[in-house]
Structure 1
Amino acid sequence: MAQVAVKVVEKQNNDENIMGVDLGLKVPVVAVTSNSKTRFFGNGRQNKYIRRKYKVLRQQLGKAKQLKKIKQIGNKEQRWMKDQDHKISRQIVNFAKENHVSVIRLEKLTNIRNTARTSRKNEKNLHTWSFYRLSKYIEYKANLEGIKVEYVNPKYTSQKCPKCQTLNKANDRKYVCKCCGYRTHRDRVGALNIMKAPMADGVA
């Protein structure tokens, strides 16, 4: 076994655009840039299928008292999830580079399991998916490209109208403002508001 230390020089980034990133379950990631570009990343249905598949396997092995195999498939599931997070975080950073983004803004994840928008049937999936890990993958890949990552206060990011600031509740995946009529995908609203939200430490 050998350990090799490599010093990586971070790039300088003089671009001016900002990008808001919203993390979720049905739509894993939505990114919106200040130059009006939007992209959806990941496959929420595929993620849910894989988690359900491994859950059934664990139940079957548990009944058969095959504890060693339960541990093995648990490790396999975690490797798959980490691989997905690596791929998605790379796609997000590449999208930021394509759109000359200097700052990526994410929700501060301290209480995401209490505040995330999810139904009761998705609650277990929320607890098995690592939003924190994905955000950290985005952060270190972004920093290598000279892109700064900031964490913002997530309060009302899913409800506030990006146009008139009125609070509304989305109907499934559709967001329609009852005041000004603004409409778009619900998770896109989250990304837009994250892009404009105050930083989590109170600094604008």
Structure 2
Amino acid sequence: FDLLKHKLGTLRITQKSGKWIAQISVTIPTGEGTGLKVMGVDLGLKVPAVAVTDDEKVRFFGNGRQNKYMKRKFRSVRKALGKKKKLNAIRKLDDKEQRWMKDQDHKVSRAIVDFAKENKISIIRLERLANIRQTARTSRKNEKNLHSWSFYRLSQFIEYKAKLVGIKVEYVNPAYTSQTCPQCSVRNKAQDRKYKCECGFEKHRDVVGAMNIRYAPVIDGNSQSA
């Protein structure tokens, strides 16, 4: 309701899944901080998001196992309904699944922005999503999850929530962010979830990604696809 105190725009009434929904556009003034503290965020499947600040504070967000379990559950119910040719029930289930996924993205993005605020971060950096299909760690068993989970939506939620509190979001080139050693710059492939380098550096592979995203070359974030 605090949002309604700002300048109101178009009111749109829609009906979805038997419910009437009122959508109101609101214009909210935003500003960007002048600080230089940077935080990198790596998006993935097993770990939905990992953030690393420029003073090496690390936070993991979301529950990849729970997400995978829920996706399997929805898929199983959908398959059973398909055999019974219950098309309306399938549509309702699809709506329920989308609402659940969107809610997870809202929770993760809110937690990321809150973590940034706590650490006085001025800039959040994310991978440019045009290459997320290639850079996300894929395997045959999680391919279905990858193509149905919206990395793009999560990044958009992070961006607009960050803007509301004066934090800038920048997009970087994702090339080799999960392979390059943050300590000596040598490229190595992680073994399962652990990244090891000959120089002695060891970290969780997603932490390595977030560390490198902090300082990767910034590119135009307007041409994204997912």
Report the identity percentage.
66
Is the contact between residue 93 and residue 141 of structure 1 (CA under 8 Å) also seen in structure 2?
Answer: yes
Q: Does 1:49 align with 2:69?
A: yes
Partner amino acid, structure 2, of 1:181: G
Q: Does 1:199 align with 2:218?
A: yes
Structure 1 residue 201 displacement after superposition: 3.9
Q: Does 1:144 align with 2:176?
A: no
Deviations 1:58-114 (A, max 9, x none): 100000000110010000000000001011101000000000100000000012112
Greater relative contact order, per chain length (Cα 8 Å cut-off, separation 6+): 1
What's the counterpart of residue 119 of structure 1? Answer: 139
What's the counterpart of residue 28 of structure 2? Answer: 8
Once residues 220 and 31 of structure 2 are traced to their aligned partners in structure 1, the CA distance between those partners, rounded to angstroms, is 26
Is the contact between residue 82 and residue 90 of structure 2 (CA under 8 Å) also seen in structure 1?
Answer: yes
Partner amino acid, structure 2, of 1:108: R
Structure 1: unaligned runs, 5 residues or longer: none
Once residues 76 and 3 of structure 1 are traced to their aligned partners in structure 2, the CA distance between those partners, rounded to angstroms, is 19
2:208 equivalent among 174, 186, 189: 189
3 and 181 in structure 1: CA distance in 2 versus 1, 3 angstrom threshold: closer
Q: TM-score, normalised by structure 2?
A: 0.85
Is the contact between residue 42 and residue 50 of structure 2 (CA under 8 Å) also seen in structure 1?
Answer: yes
Which structure has the highest strand share of the two? 2
2:128 equivalent among 98, 108, 118: 108
Instruction: Give runs of aligned pairs for residues 161-180 of structure 1, distance below 5 A.
Output: 161-178=181-198, 180=199
Partner amino acid, structure 2, of 1:43: N
What's the counterpart of residue 16 of structure 2? Answer: none
Partner amino acid, structure 2, of 1:124: K
- SS in structure 2 of the partner of residue 118 of structure 1: coil
**Segment drifting more, 113-122 vs 164-173:** 113-122
Instruction: Give runs of aligned pairs for residues 39-78 of structure 1, distance below 5 A.
Output: 39-78=59-98
| Number of residue pairs aligned between Structure 1 and Structure 2 | 201
